[in-house]
């Protein structure tokens, strides 16, 4: 029963930046894994990044450009996206896994275009 709400998506030019937020309905301190996924039109949903209490993992296509982080006090997950490319255009979804099941947010649209 974890509710997730994403925000921060929008239109940005190539090379620009966006910061996505995911607000959780309860403390994220006890959530095992949180992450960001994305899905472009006609494509399958793919993992972008994950974070646990001990570390972070990134997909190869975002390494060096994106940073995942969380603010436990605010029950919020973040994704800082820099050097954005047109191929980053997708709906970005917040995910949480508590060892029982996965929870998903509604998604936020990110469009990178000139």
Residue 1 above 80 pLDDT?
no
The residue-averaged pLDDT of 34-55 equals 96
Q: What's the pLDDT at 100?
A: 87
Q: How far is CA 56 from CA 6, 13, 31, in A?
A: 20, 27, 14
Residue 86 contacts residue 113 (beta carbons within 8 Å): yes
Average pLDDT over the chain, rounded to whole? 95
Count helices and strands (H / E) in the chain. Answer: 0, 11
Picking from 26, 12, 7, the residue whose alpha carbon sits closest to that of residue 65 is 12
Q: What's the pLDDT at 98?
A: 87
- Which SS3 state, helix, strand or coil, does residue 73 take? helix
| pLDDT greater at residue 30 or residue 20 | 20
Q: What's the pLDDT at 29?
A: 78
């Amino acid at each position: 029963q974890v509710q997730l709400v994403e925000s921060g998506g929008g239109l940005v030019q190539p090379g620009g930046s966006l910061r996505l937020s995911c607000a959780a309905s309860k403390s994220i301190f006890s959530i095992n894994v949180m992450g960001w996924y994305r899905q472009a039109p006609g494509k399958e949903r793919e993992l972008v990044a994950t974070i646990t209490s001990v570390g972070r993992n990134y997909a190869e296509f975002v390494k060096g450009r994106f940073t995942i982080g969380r603010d436990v006090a605010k029950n919020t997950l973040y994704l800082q996206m820099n050097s954005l490319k047109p191929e980053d255009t997708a709906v970005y979804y917040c995910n949480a896994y508590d060892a029982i099941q996965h929870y998903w947010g509604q998604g936020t649209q990110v469009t990178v275009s000139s």
